[in-house]
Structure 1
Amino acid sequence: MSLSDLRVSSPAQLVAVVPYLLGFHPRDSLVVVGRRDRALVFAARQDLPPPETPLAELDEFARQTAAVVARQTVDSVVLLGYTERGSGAALVAAVGDALLDLAIPVREQLRVADGRFWCYLCTDEGCCPPAGRSYDAEAGQVREAAGFQVFADRAALVASVAPVQGDAREAMRAATAEADRRLDELAAGQRTGPGALLGAIHRAGVRAVGTALTRYRGGGILSDAEVAWLTVLLAHAPVGEYALNRADAAGWQVTLWSDVLRRASAELSAMPAVLLAFTAWRTGQGALAAVAVDRALDADPSLGIARLLDEVLTDGIPPSALDRPGAA
């Protein structure tokens, strides 16, 4: 489901859509959803601060959140507090005020819990009963339209791209050891210096990346040997750059790099994680992109492209920035 494909005409529909925008059901969270030309173009989630957080810290949190939203060039936003405590009102109000200070209209301020929602500002019990309003019907409609399930929470999202274990991990260890031997053989076959070796690695990488793209575009998967060879080659910068230049906003590419990341050896996981982060960001799956960036930085804290993507996500830069004139 693409943000730009969604047309939401009621608070219940919006609440039903939010998990599909994030990829999971938020809990103890502030969610900001932005609109432009009546389309949903931005969705971001942050953990709610503890209830005892001083007002000065809430105001600073609110200003930082509003600054991120302002970079999205939205027409208006909706704020949603996901909390069963009945709290969150002070934070949502502070964020609303900070957005208004930046001339960004706030259409709704809602609280969501236990399959129901309330309006923070409405005191009309005919409109907003004390027990809240259900959005079950709307959730069913969105689920059917989306054609996929979302994760129960962020932990489940993280687990979805966690390294494979057990027999699958043992199989990948053996496949990676064989890929390393294959690379050694490739190096031994080059008689004319390091430039020839780099060229040979690049050519092998182009073939391996092309095979992966073709296979997943057609709904297939790579064997363990193919994944191992691909990850060994991606560790070389020219091959990683080649793959990144061919990464775009396609759901099957998210599937490809999720699969490669799950099967990659820890020491070879940084570039597959970057590729997953980039493709997830391009498709509007910001939460998955953030998880992937964390994996990349855990594997290689000095990797420049991972640090750049981390800044992009932290600053709330939208994928549409790539379409602007002069974007690299």
Structure 2
Amino acid sequence: MNLRERPVSTIRAPRPSELLPVVPHLIGFHPRRSLVVLCLAGTPARCGQVFRFDLPPRRRQPTFVAGVVQRLEHLRPEAVVLVCYDDSPPPRGAVGARPREAIEHADDGLPRRELVDPIVAELGNGPVAVVDALLVRDGRWWSFLCTDSACCPSEGTTILAPDDPLVGRLAAEEVLRGRRILGSREELAASIAGPAELDLTRTLGAFARVGASKDACTPHDATVAALEATFERFLTGRHELDDDEVARICLGLADETARDAILRRQVDDARTWLVLLTELARRTPDAHAAPVCATLAWVAVQSGEGALANVALDRALAADPAHRLARLLRCGLDRQVSAAQLRAVAHQAGSGVPP
């Protein structure tokens, strides 16, 4: 199959050994205890939408299976590859002499089979074909569907190492795009989690000082001008921001007209906007985080960065559960609405964002 790396690169991955190193580059971090669904279409097959779900506790597995199947039947991709990332302890009674085979249960099943098999069975009764269902654990992979020991040995197959040319090429492209693949979703969330305790008092002081000043209600054109000037600095690699600049911009983004003006302009260089907005979110206290995090989430959605959009929305809605843009984006992402459809909905809702 061919996997198209956003925005234009094409990676040929005919086997899971070549496919699996691509997954972290598609979602922005290395998944753990996750089910990743790659949606495929065309001949040769190309990867379209990619979904990641946290693995559920056993008691919630039937609801989880029904939700995944319902979502895929609604989207109707031509085919999917399921990749289950599991790092649970080895099953009891595993053979100690061959630790790589400890992945197997006494009944010859693989861990999480009770979760994956029902999804495969349900999709098999409908229009969505399952190309493969894989288990990834401890740097190796197994197929839930293949029983041929010649291609899928019981001890698993090693995923490509970091020094493999394909993995190196992907890493180099991410560097050129100004993007870094993080170790986990938690690390991604931490990258926009707000000031550390040592910096929080100083940052809160800046927000209080700017908020109490004469220009507390910053006109929207002043907010836009400040953000665009900062953007121009970021384009040249100068990422310095003092606390008052951060406070002035992030308080200004609470003005929806200023925010919408920025959303219209961000298409010029989405990558730089993501870097800038991530830095602003990282330095904004929770009480003021909703506007900048919702803005970051919007740009992330338009750039195909679904994982970043989701963690930004988590923080925005934790700060302000009623924030309109954040609620719109959360609803759209939960229903797998495309970026173009979200723009159209925002436009119809009276936002200044063009459809």
TM-score range, shorter chain: 0.7 to 0.9
Instruction: For 2:25 and 2:148, locate their aligned partners in 1 and report how far apart those are by CA, in whole Å.
Output: 30
Partner in structure 2 of residue 61 of structure 1? 64
Partner in structure 1 of residue 39 of structure 2? 34
Amino acid paired to 2:11: R
Q: Does 1:211 align with 2:211?
A: no
Partner in structure 2 of residue 80 of structure 1? 83
Amino acid paired to 1:129: P
Deviation at 1:203, TM superposition (A): 2.3
Q: Which moved more, 1:148-157 or 1:230-239?
A: 148-157
Q: In structure 1, which of residues 245, 266, 273 is the aligned counterpart of residue 293 of structure 2? A: 273
Report 1 or 2 for greater relative contact order, CA contacts < 8 Å, sequence distance ≥ 6.
1
Partner in structure 2 of residue 108 of structure 1? 132
Q: Does 1:118 align with 2:142?
A: yes
Partner in structure 2 of residue 226 of structure 1? 245
Q: Secondary structure at the match of 2:56?
A: coil
1:105-160 Cα offsets, whole Å, 9 max, x none, are 11111100111111111111110111111122354443344335422222111111
Partner in structure 2 of residue 194 of structure 1? none
Whether the 8 Å CA contact 2:193–2:315 is kept in 1: the answer is no
Deviation at 1:164, TM superposition (A): 1.8
Relative to 1, partners in 2 of residues 1:309 and 1:156: Cα closer, same or farther, differing over 3 Å?
same
Whether the 8 Å CA contact 1:80–1:110 is kept in 2: the answer is yes
Q: Does 1:169 align with 2:196?
A: no
Partner in structure 1 of residue 154 of structure 2? 130
Partner in structure 1 of residue 26 of structure 2? 21
Partner in structure 2 of residue 256 of structure 1? 276
Q: In structure 1, which of residues 277, 286, 292 is the aligned counterpart of residue 306 of structure 2? A: 286
Instruction: Name the structure where helix makes up a greater proportion of residues.
Output: 1
RMSD over aligned Cα, in angstroms?
A: 2.6
Instruction: For 2:314 and 2:16, locate their aligned partners in 1 and report how far apart those are by CA, in whole Å.
Output: 33
Q: Does 1:7 align with 2:7?
A: no
Deviation at 1:70, TM superposition (A): 4.1
Instruction: For 1:170 and 1:60, locate their aligned partners in 2 and report how far apart those are by CA, in whole Å.
Output: 44
Q: Which moved more, 1:133-142 or 1:289-298?
A: 133-142
Relative to 1, partners in 2 of residues 1:298 and 1:105: Cα closer, same or farther, differing over 3 Å?
same
Q: Does 1:245 align with 2:249?
A: no
Relative to 1, partners in 2 of residues 1:245 and 1:145: Cα closer, same or farther, differing over 3 Å?
closer
Q: Does 1:295 align with 2:315?
A: yes
Relative to 1, partners in 2 of residues 1:323 and 1:207: Cα closer, same or farther, differing over 3 Å?
closer
Deviation at 1:313, TM superposition (A): 1.5
Instruction: For 1:19 and 1:100, locate their aligned partners in 2 and report how far apart those are by CA, in whole Å.
Output: 27
Amino acid paired to 1:30: L
Partner in structure 2 of residue 153 of structure 1? 184
Whether the 8 Å CA contact 1:35–1:76 is kept in 2: the answer is yes
Whether the 8 Å CA contact 1:34–1:41 is kept in 2: the answer is yes
Instruction: For 2:314 and 2:264, locate their aligned partners in 1 and report how far apart those are by CA, in whole Å.
Output: 21
1:81-100 map, 5 Å: 81-85=84-88, 86-100=110-124
Q: Which runs of at least 4 in structure 1 moved beyond 6 Å after TM superposition?
A: 323-327
Instruction: For 2:230 and 2:330, locate their aligned partners in 1 and report how far apart those are by CA, in whole Å.
Output: 25
Instruction: For 1:251 and 1:68, locate their aligned partners in 2 and report how far apart those are by CA, in whole Å.
Output: 29
What is the TM-score with the length of structure 1 in the denominator? 0.85
Q: Secondary structure at the match of 2:133?
A: strand
Relative to 1, partners in 2 of residues 1:268 and 1:5: Cα closer, same or farther, differing over 3 Å?
same
Unpaired runs of 5+ residues, structure 1, are: 188-196
Amino acid paired to 1:19: P
Instruction: For 1:96 and 1:320, locate their aligned partners in 2 and report how far apart those are by CA, in whole Å.
Output: 30
Partner in structure 2 of residue 49 of structure 1? 56
Relative to 1, partners in 2 of residues 1:258 and 1:23: Cα closer, same or farther, differing over 3 Å?
same
Instruction: For 1:42 and 1:88, locate their aligned partners in 2 and report how far apart those are by CA, in whole Å.
Output: 23
Instruction: For 1:145 and 1:244, locate their aligned partners in 2 and report how far apart those are by CA, in whole Å.
Output: 26
Instruction: For 1:2 and 1:32, locate their aligned partners in 2 and report how far apart those are by CA, in whole Å.
Output: 17
Partner in structure 1 of residue 92 of structure 2? none
